Amino acid sequence: MSDGRFEAGDAHQMAADAHQMAADAHQLAGDADETAEADVWDGRVARLLALLRHRLTGDYEVDEFGFDRQLTESVFLPLMRPFYRTWFRVETYGIKHLPDDGPALIVANHSGTIALDAAMLCVAVHDEHPARRFLRLLGADFVFRMPGLSEVARKSGSTLACNPDAERLLRSGELVGVFPEGFKGVGKPFAERYKLQRFGRGGFVSAALRTGTPIIPVSIVGAEETYPLLGNIRPLARLLGAPYFPVTPLFPWLGPLGMVPLPSKWLIEFGEPIVTEGMADSADDPMAVFNLADQVRETIQQTLHRLLELRPDPWSA
């Protein structure tokens, strides 16, 4: 497909760009080394300056969805990594189920009031998988309506959850992530934690069927306890145009301090891929779509129960 070729070209260009950047940094570091002894800090400063130069002069690539690989690698992921490693102590299982290249549709449960699980899943896919792949998330239109948030989402590789975008990403061989519960999942009360919500219309299933992409069910344990949702101030939500206005044990009582997530212990399990090849005909068959969506949902729910038994104490090390 020519799309694939374009994407590959872009990726190649990006790789070349990154290489050039590394070379520049190395050269500058080399200059610095002439007088001083080999010093890691020289290299770091030179690399940072080279990065700044690339950013300041617009010398980087952005793909057609707005994904800025350089920014994601050098800013977004490093910002999230301390949360991933130290704060939530994330453990992953079954990362080998992700393909080294080519497309896959990752379907995960969604929880935790604000979508921290999306960010952690991106770090998990990039850092734990040997091919260091990027996860391209599909986001609700609310995300793309908000100034600021919409740009962070696009630059980190997300795009609007709609079939044309999902299929375009899959056809160009990307790893696509989706949370079919949507706001029903993130905004559910703490009492209903780890109870999977309804899976919408199953649009993700038809996208996978139409492109013959394997579906990988992913279960995330830990996000529910980060911001236990006790209540929802509906008038305020309506005023802000948000899906809900959360009340947690700390928010809004402690103000900005209440926005610090509780340090729960996280487990992420990537399940066995569900093959959909050769089923393109059933993409428009509602029965087939619902059945497959149900199968994915059941798999995630059962895995959640199993993971919860592995982690009896949400605050364990």
Q: How far is the CB of 85 from other proteins (least distance, A)?
A: 29
Alpha carbon 266 to its chain's center: 15
**Please, what is the minimum distance in Å from the beta carbon of residue 79 to other proteins?**
18
Structure tokens at 125: 């896919």
In the bound state with other proteins, the residue whose beta carbon lies nearer, of 103 and 217, is 103
Locate all alpha helices (DSSP H) within 75-216, ordered by sequence. Answer: 77-82, 116-128, 141-145, 149-155, 163-171, 183-186, 203-211
Between residues 193 and 210, which has the closer beta carbon with respect to other proteins? 210
Task: Give the whole-angstrom CA distance, residue 270 versus residue 219.
Answer: 7
Burial 29-48 (b: 16+ CB within 10 A, else e): beebeeeeeeeeebbeebbe
Q: How many Cα atoms are found within 13 Å in the side-chain-facing hemisphere of 293?
A: 24
Of residues 36 and 257, the one with the C-beta less far from other proteins: 36
Question: Which of residues 25 and 307 has its CB atom nearest to other proteins in the complex?
Answer: 25
Decide the pairing of beta strands 231-232 and 246-247: antiparallel
CB of 178 to other proteins, least distance (A): 15
Query: Please, what is the minimum distance in Å from the beta carbon of residue 231 to other proteins?
Result: 29
Is residue 158 within 8 A of residue 139, CB to CB? The reply is yes
Q: For the CB of residue 207, give the shortest distance to other proteins in the complex, in Å.
A: 12
Extract the tokens encoding 124.
Answer: 């998990």
State in angstroms the smallest separation of the CB of 81 from other proteins. Answer: 24
**Closer of 49 and 275 to other proteins (Cβ):** 49
> 49 or 260, CB closer to other proteins?
49
User: Residue 144: what residue type?
Assistant: F
Residues in the site for other proteins, rule: CB under 8 A? 2-3, 6, 10, 28, 31-32, 35-36, 42, 45-46, 49-50, 52-53, 55-66, 68, 141, 144-151, 154-155, 159-160, 162, 164-165, 168
- The minimum distance between CB 60 and other proteins, in angstroms, equals 7
**Based on CB atoms, which residue is closest to other proteins, 2 or 191?**
2
Are the C-beta atoms of 65 and 167 separated by less than 8 Å?
A: no
| The residue to which tokens 């760009």 are assigned | 17
CA distances from 247 to 100, 180, 253 (A): 41, 24, 9
